[in-house]
Structure 1
Amino acid sequence: MKDLLTRKLPAELVVDIFSRVVPPKRREEWSESSPPHTTLTPLSLGKICRSWRSIVWNTPMLWTYVTLTLNREHYETQVELLPGWLERSGHHPLTIIMRGPGGDEEEDWEIHPPYEVMCQLAEVSERWKEVDMFIPYACYTDLARIRCRLPLLERLTIRPPDGVDFAFDYKLHFFHDAPRLQGLTINGLHYADATALPWHQLRCLYGQDLLVADDCYAMLKDAENLIVCRFNNVQQSSDFASASPEMIHLPRLQILELSTIGNILATAFLDSLSLPSLVELELGLGFTFDDWKYFSISDLTSFVRRSGCLLQRLTLFKIRLIERELIEGLVSLPHLVELHLHAEYPKASAGMSISDTFLFALSPPSSRPFGVCHPLPPDESLVPKLEILGYNGPLSNITPQNLQTMLEYRWYGISHASSSPCPCPSSSSSSSGGRYSVERLHKVSLESASSITITPEVQSSIRSLITDQGMDLTLTTNGFDASLIHTDNWLASPDQTVLGTSGGMDTETTSGWVPDKEHETVARQSNEIPLASAPPSPQVCPGPQGMFFAPLAFSEDW
């Protein structure tokens, strides 16, 4: 007897449903504690009933995703099942994910290598399309048979087992002849051990886990056609952070991300590059024992001027912020559309926070005290094309009325928007007869442990931007008037979930300022390997007193 699914739906639709639940998560969606186990596989679907098994066993496309987390206890079973799995996939291209359990347990696979699995996968290398492998060193010789047998390979992720010495003799020559390879992720491998890769044809390059700066420079010199580059956890090559001996010119690179990089090394890295097509830059800074000074935004603007790029999206994590330096730097970035700042909290340093001065720079020139935002010209607004602003860090001397003025000006595009609301969409200064001077600021997130007291009048005006106009606004600070908080969710109407509070402390999802990846469509238009989108925003959960809470969302870089 057939089950309800196969009895009511045609087989083609059932196959379509199965094909949507079988594919494993991409590496971008993995977490440290959850390896890429699949909740549903063709084998598990085939166990449900005879009808499902008949459909699954006769649909090769469902077997093209080979997800294998090596497990010593079940290794013999894995070796036994793998040939049948590969046979049922027919002649279709394969997506292969193979990894160890992670941590010290992977050292066991160096002592007892998974020769049988490697040999079986190598036999079908002509069908490899996307491969994500952890490769014990002892298996390098076994994989040599795939050389010149990778006609379909487009994406490759390789790394050695965790906790093993990086020094070994085998080179990665067997990936050299892969005519379609455009996306490469290298985890924990030294560049000298991967010199035979087809660098010139790469469009996306990701590297992580204790990369050495000199290796990064060498890879970039060879990968001259890159469009997207991300390096995580970059270390100095010696006791001193140094730039590349030769300027590295990458004419097509549009997206650059450097995370977990020391302050001085970040400066040296930017001093090594010329990126005329760059539209997005993300720096995840971190003070190291080798740093004797902090990263300066002036170093960033010097890099932009030297490259001649029109930077549109900028994200700086853990930056030691100096407000006047920030304004000076942003004057040099007039094409900026998105700005995300995560600033450190200094113990006691004047000017190392956001104040009314920054709000004045974003406000209409007519409302700005003379000379307060030098070197910003008196008749111009800072970053006039800005549409998304995220800030997490200290605030000082913020006047609620100035915050209101800035938000209204950046939404309506005119000086006194509150008295002359305009329901029109965002326009440039050329629209409506010159009435608009800035692009509409659609999304704003200000998160701080500092305190701001918002008067009822200002609350009403800001609430109107959200409820009546549709601004995506998140204000999360410590120190709002408790009576206002507990009697009214002050930024939202009762049926909305913009802000949550608890005992005078506001809590809100940080997805307002954590950058998503939708903007990577720029790179997708260049025919490189598709990039994964950002994870969805966290769900909002009901809390006490009718308030709402949302768990903090952290950006997952890799």
Structure 2
Amino acid sequence: MWPLQNISDLKPPPHPRSPHYCRTSFGWPCPPCRELTQLDKSRDQDEDWAKERDLLLIRINDRHDPLCHYLPVELAAKIFAIYCEEYRKTIEESGLVGRTASPLRLAAVCRRWRDIAFNTPVLWAFLLISHSRYWVAHPDIVEQWLRRTGTRPLSIRISLKESQNYTNGQKRSICTIFDHLRDYSDRWKFMNIFMLSKHCKMLLGDRHIETPLLEGIELRIEDERYDVISPVANLATPRLIKASLWRLWLPTVTLDWANLTSLQCTLSSIDEVIKLLSLSPRLIECDFLDICDDSFIYPLPNNVFEHHSIQRLKLHPDAFMEEDVMYTFFDSLILSALERFTYDFKGSVFPLDPEPLTSFLDCSVITYLSLENINFKCIPPSLILTILEIISPTLTELHIQCWDSRPHRCDKLPNMLFERLAASAVFDPDSDDTFEPEFLPDLRTLVYKGSKPSPNAWRELQPAIYNLALSLEAPIIAAKNTPGKYFKFSRPLDDVQFTLTNMFVQSDKNKSPGTTFSRDVFLLLRKLQDECIDLNISEEMMDASGTVTDEIDLIEHFELTRSFTMFDRFPVHWFSDN
């Protein structure tokens, strides 16, 4: 795009090259389009030629306008607003910066579109400022942009990266842009800031700023954490409900935490994490990623602190952090409302003491548990089962992901888990016999992921799956052609019925990992069929005589169905996927 000094200096839009598709005459050029084609072929391209061409472009715009020619201005403005909102979401989701802003794109189509765009404040309520020279060199555009927002709340995204070598003039432009933004701080609603700490201090930290409408802020500092010493943000945020902090010491940020409901912090120390929880009594969901060791900025609590509103918590300690640091966290907090908990071991090489973690979980009502990147060399599967025993009564969804270079370790946990579920599934409340106590009685979904599953994962797991299927009396088993990498159980509330498509069964001459997997799945299905479990097999699985054959190339469809009555226990369906 050409260098723009002023929004009002936006040039007339260029016309598409001819010949082009003309929608007004079913694909054939309309009269103004034909005149333009002839004019462009003319060799006398002087000043009169340029004026005549501009007049033709106006006629073409009037004739081809698909929006304003048929709709009132109010509806056209509404359509523009929907377009800009989708554009803004695309920018936020993709993380792209420095692209041409959508209101300017609309204003560049024709004069009529420009009038509508310039007089619709909602189109300008999202402002993107990147480190590119286009924005840094022209602070007047930022001022004009902000003036066109009327009284609308503002969503602003700023990205000034260290890789940009700013000249003295560009540095002055940055200061001017920051002054313009602070003039509108009373209308900030969402702020997304990615820059060096010195720039963030220039914008937010060198004075106290009132932001009465601010609901969400994301601060991503590009410096190393230990280089950020002075305050980088000093804001009055009475309506703040969502915050995301990256590489920041908590004392360098002044915000109102009282109404915060969502929080994400990256590279925070354990004492800062506990302090943030104590400052945010209304917090509902929070993620703490790459948690560091104690920074000794804040004293750790001597008494147990109880938080009554947190429902979802995700903890990702640093891989090299001593486990006893996290024990301090578990021993210091009670989250009585916690329902969803995710813990990432990051392949930790330190042994795990289950007592602090199980005590922490036992004080909550956990319905969703996700244990990620478990190193079975240091955390044996039996220890995972011990943890599950503690929270067994309330758990409905369990996700386990292992991190281990040895496949047999990854396969051991699901085998033990299936055996434990099968032993618990035969529980009969009317019988006098002694059975295993119920294990995960309300579990509806079990997902297991192995980093490097063995090619024989299905063969090794077959007995456990078989016993579990029989004990539940209504097996449902489904599979796809990736062996053992992704396992999932689910207990539906209705009679078992499941459909599987596109399962490849390969012959012995094909030595890919799918060979063992597919044949074992097939044999397991045959074995279940022999146990009088209904198995409906499609014609693709049968030979000419109508009997089931092992030598088939593709199973496109099969179903396993069976009605059942099992007290309060529900059936399981199983599948393996990527």
1:211 aligns with 2:268: yes
Q: Is the 8 A contact 1:65 1:96 kept in 2?
A: yes
Using a 3 Å threshold, how does the CA distance of structure 1 residues 69 and 200 change in structure 2: closer, same or farther?
A: same
Aligned structure 1 segments of 4 or more residues deviating by more than 6 angstroms: 106-109, 348-352, 439-443, 460-463, 483-486
The separation in 2 between residues aligned to 1:71 and 1:46, in whole angstroms, is 22
1:456 aligns with 2:522: yes
Equivalent residue number for residue 192 of structure 1: 251
Identity of aligned residues (%): 21
The separation in 1 between residues aligned to 2:499 and 2:98, in whole angstroms, is 38
Q: Deviations over 1:472-512 (max 9, x none)?
A: xxxxxxxxxxx989822x5x539xxxxxxxxxxxxxxxxx9
Q: Is the 8 A contact 1:388 1:442 kept in 2?
A: no
1:77-156 maps to which residues of 2 (within 5 A)? 77=138, 79-101=139-161, 104-105=163-164, 112=171, 114-134=174-194, 136-137=197-198, 140=201, 143=204, 147=208, 149-156=210-217
1:19 aligns with 2:77: no
Q: Deviations over 1:303-325 (max 9, x none)?
A: 112xx211011111111343322
Equivalent residue number for residue 7 of structure 2: none
Q: Deviations over 1:403-430 (max 9, x none)?
A: 2564687xxxx524579xxxxx9449xx
The separation in 2 between residues aligned to 1:207 and 1:486, in whole angstroms, is 53
The separation in 2 between residues aligned to 1:5 and 1:340, in whole angstroms, is 50
The separation in 2 between residues aligned to 1:128 and 1:80, in whole angstroms, is 19
Equivalent residue number for residue 67 of structure 1: 128
How far did 1:250 drift? 1.5
Aligned match for 1:316, one of 371, 381, 384: 371
Unpaired segments of 5 or more residues in structure 2? 1-61, 428-433, 478-490, 501-512, 537-548, 559-574
Using a 3 Å threshold, how does the CA distance of structure 1 residues 352 and 320 change in structure 2: closer, same or farther?
A: farther
The separation in 2 between residues aligned to 1:363 and 1:5, in whole angstroms, is 64
The separation in 1 between residues aligned to 2:184 and 2:551, in whole angstroms, is 63
The separation in 1 between residues aligned to 2:107 and 2:388, in whole angstroms, is 58
User: Partner of 1:200: helix, strand, or coil?
Assistant: coil
- Which amino acid counterpart does residue 58 of structure 1 have in structure 2? N
Q: Is the 8 A contact 2:200 2:232 kept in 1?
A: no
How far did 1:201 drift? 2.4
Aligned match for 1:336, one of 395, 403, 423: 395
How far did 1:161 drift? 3.4
Deviates most, 88-97 or 387-396: 387-396
Aligned match for 1:50, one of 92, 95, 111: 111
Using a 3 Å threshold, how does the CA distance of structure 1 residues 357 and 164 change in structure 2: closer, same or farther?
A: closer
1:354 aligns with 2:413: yes
How far did 1:129 drift? 0.8
Q: Deviations over 1:230-285 (max 9, x none)?
A: 1111111379xx97554332111111111253361444432332111101111122
User: Partner of 1:129: helix, strand, or coil?
Assistant: strand
How far did 1:38 drift? 5.3
Q: Is the 8 A contact 1:100 1:106 kept in 2?
A: no
Using a 3 Å threshold, how does the CA distance of structure 1 residues 355 and 95 change in structure 2: closer, same or farther?
A: closer
Q: Deviations over 1:443-469 (max 9, x none)?
A: 9xxxxx997552425347999x9x99x
Aligned match for 1:280, one of 337, 340, 347: 340
Q: Paired residues, what number?
A: 433
Q: Deviations over 1:353-379 (max 9, x none)?
A: 2243311223374669xxxxxxxx835
- Which amino acid counterpart does residue 394 of structure 2 have in structure 1? H
Question: Rg larger in 1 or in 2?
Answer: 2
Equivalent residue number for residue 3 of structure 2: none
Using a 3 Å threshold, how does the CA distance of structure 1 residues 486 and 442 change in structure 2: closer, same or farther?
A: closer
How far did 1:326 drift? 2.4
Equivalent residue number for residue 387 of structure 1: 444
The separation in 1 between residues aligned to 2:426 and 2:142, in whole angstroms, is 70
User: Partner of 1:7: helix, strand, or coil?
Assistant: coil
- Which amino acid counterpart does residue 370 of structure 2 have in structure 1? T
Equivalent residue number for residue 372 of structure 1: none
1:304 aligns with 2:304: no
The separation in 2 between residues aligned to 1:344 and 1:144, in whole angstroms, is 42
How far did 1:127 drift? 0.5
Equivalent residue number for residue 269 of structure 1: 329
Q: Is the 8 A contact 2:131 2:164 kept in 1?
A: no
Unpaired segments of 5 or more residues in structure 1? 369-376, 420-424, 429-435, 444-448, 469-482, 495-511, 514-549, 553-558
Q: Deviations over 1:83-106 (max 9, x none)?
A: 1111111101111111124x6448
Equivalent residue number for residue 38 of structure 2: none
Using a 3 Å threshold, how does the CA distance of structure 1 residues 116 and 329 change in structure 2: closer, same or farther?
A: same
Structure 1 vs Structure 2 CA RMSD = 4.4
Using a 3 Å threshold, how does the CA distance of structure 1 residues 405 and 216 change in structure 2: closer, same or farther?
A: same
